[in-house]
Amino acid sequence: MDSSIFIRRYFARCLECSFCHDACCFHGVDIDVDNVRRINSFATDLEEFMGTSKATWFRDEFAKDVEFPGGSFTRTQVLDGACVFHDRRSRGCLLHKFSLENNIDYHDLKPMVSCLFPLTFDNGVLHPSDDIETDDLVCAGEGPTLYQGVRNELLYYFGPTFVEELDGIEIGNEVASTLHNT
């Protein structure tokens, strides 16, 4: 775990933002093979809901990666400058919107990497996404810490023991920072 997740901040109320125009949705997102299968199980309804063919949703190639559920992942396609699942008529993610409108837990369809953003993971490390590291995230700087912004998502995916451990580390970092500044 990279301790900067307890220091770096961002505007976490995504759909209340009036300044980014969903910039984080412009590049597509990594998505695990199991998630692709779940989305494809709703293909007929999603094609109608989105107005796009499922043939346009994902890249064809999958990469092996044991950190992803199912052991491999691909990426969502970028169409007209944004993720194919970006809601161009409104804002946000069409998978999230479709889930809410159909009483489906959005975690079942929305990619885990999207839910955890602006945190990510690789090589066994939870850390800020590249957009934070390169200062390219428009909404970086104000708001809760990266950790607090996605704490509930971490709880969902990794469970209470993991989050309790991170809470303890966060408190330790706050104490150390306070002592350092006095």
Band (pLDDT 50/70/90 cuts) for residue 174 is low
Alpha carbon distances (Å) from 130 to 24, 30, 62, 120, 169: 11, 13, 21, 9, 22
pLDDT surpasses 90 at 163: yes
**Cα separation, 109 vs 105, whole angstroms:** 8
Q: Which of 119, 121, 139, 130 is nearest to 6 (CA)?
A: 119
**Distance (Å, rounded) from C-alpha 23 to C-alpha 120?**
17
Model pLDDT, residue 181:
53
Query: What's the mean pLDDT in 123-144?
Result: 81
pLDDT of residue 20 exceeding 70, the answer is: no
Band of the pLDDT at 138, cuts 50, 70, 90?
low
Quickly list H helices, the chain: 33-40, 43-50, 94-101, 112-116, 130-133, 146-158, 160-181
Helix, strand, or coil (residue 31): strand
The confidence score (pLDDT) of residue 180 equals 47
Mean of the pLDDT values across residues 85-109?
94
Report the C-alpha gap between 88 and 90 in whole angstroms.
6
The Cα 84–Cα 54 span in angstroms is 10
Q: What is the pLDDT of residue 74?
A: 97
